[in-house]
Amino acid sequence: MAILAQTPPMGFNTWNTFGPNINEQMLLEITDMIVEQGYRDAGYEYVVIDDCWSLRERDEDGNLVPDPEKFPHGMKYVADYVHSKGLKFGMYSCAGTRTCAGYPGSFDHEFQDARLFASWGVDFLKYDYCYFPSNGDGKQRYLVMAQALRASGRDILFSACNWGSHEPWNWMRSIGAHMYRSTGDIWDNFPSTAAIMTSQMGNFNANAAGCFNDMDMLTVGMGGQGNVGDSNCNTYGEYEMQFAYWCFCAAPLMMGADLRKVGEEYRTLLQHKDLIRLNQDPECRPPYKVRKDAGYHVFVRHLADGEFAIGVFNFHQDPRTAEITFAELGVPAD
């Protein structure tokens, strides 16, 4: 089996823009965009479908059934198309009895569902935490799905999504997840993004090759449109900060904007070579916080081949001036 997630996974997820309004045609068009507009070459790999893809009930054999109106040719057809473009295909389920939008979850169906996903050619599973039985053991059920995916005979990246419940940075790596959501859902505005960014500063050390802290899908380029859109959306500079911070912290880069519509400046940002190189640095070292000062934070991060990166992040919406000395960064000034 392949070793997955040696560096932070990169891709696209339907939820931020499309929410429940997903279908085959949209997914194929997004897949085409990823190839034609340079995202694949920039490193984006997984095309992931989120909640609301199935019928409301399982079939008589207990199998999940793709909604035939949304996916008239079924999921293997979509997977084959995605694979034909040199990309990988991701799907979604939930550790509870229902998904967050009320579709069937995988609780007590873990091995059956993992086998079904593998038979369709799925390469990635996002696994949510709604409708989890109150007397159940959440950690244990994530372990069960990790085992089910490994037993499926296919390399399937396990993207656990329990929103930071039970301090996942302490155990998700050990149960076999490759990434884990550490926060509640992002909204396309600066307060939401800044709250997520600051909430994870204490958890950087758990981030390493094989399993990464997922601060949620990017809203870069959404411009207030879509399912988690907000008329008071981020400015271009705030989107720049979001992308830079996700890259600096080696968070998975899952794009959430409608790639058929994003403007040139956002395409350039999402494909920023140096930031992506930082995100994908093979040593996967966490940032070190040098200083917090008047609303901004200074970090240094060691990279492979003797390079290091300096990150200065202002979590306020007004400008600040930052001063950093070489001594603080641990290097001689002359």
Distance between CA atoms of residues 21 and 227, nearest Å: 9
Beta strands (DSSP E) in 176-232 are 179-181, 212-214
Per CB under 6 A, 195 contacts ligand GLA: no
Per CB under 6 A, 185 contacts ligand GLA: yes
Task: Find out whether 43 and 91 touch, Cβ atoms under 8 Å.
Answer: no
**258 is a catalytic site residue:** no
Per CB under 6 A, 15 contacts ligand GLA: yes
Draw the binding track, 115-144, toward ligand GLA (x: CB under 6 A; -: no contact).
Answer: -------------x----------------
Return the number of the residue (185 or 240) whose C-beta is nearest ligand GLA. Answer: 185
A 10 A CB-CB count for 229 gives: 19
Draw the binding track, 142-161, toward ligand GLA (x: CB under 6 A; -: no contact).
Answer: -------------------x
**Which candidate in 128, 214, 216, 258 is catalytic?**
128
Shortest CB 201 distance to ligand GLA, Å: 21
Per CB under 6 A, 100 contacts ligand GLA: yes
Task: Find out whether 107 and 136 touch, Cβ atoms under 8 Å.
Answer: yes
Shortest CB 260 distance to ligand GLA, Å: 21
Q: How many of the chain's residues bind ligand GLA (CB under 6 A)?
A: 10
Cα dist. 334→291, 301, 302, 305, 310 in Å? 22, 21, 20, 22, 18
**155 is a catalytic site residue:** no
Task: Find out whether 176 and 293 touch, Cβ atoms under 8 Å.
Answer: no
Per CB under 6 A, 110 contacts ligand GLA: no
Distance of CA 215 to the CA centre of its chain: 7
Residues across the chain: 334
Active site residues: 128, 185
Q: Enumerate binding residues for ligand GLA (CB under 6 A).
A: 15, 50-51, 99-101, 128, 161, 163, 185
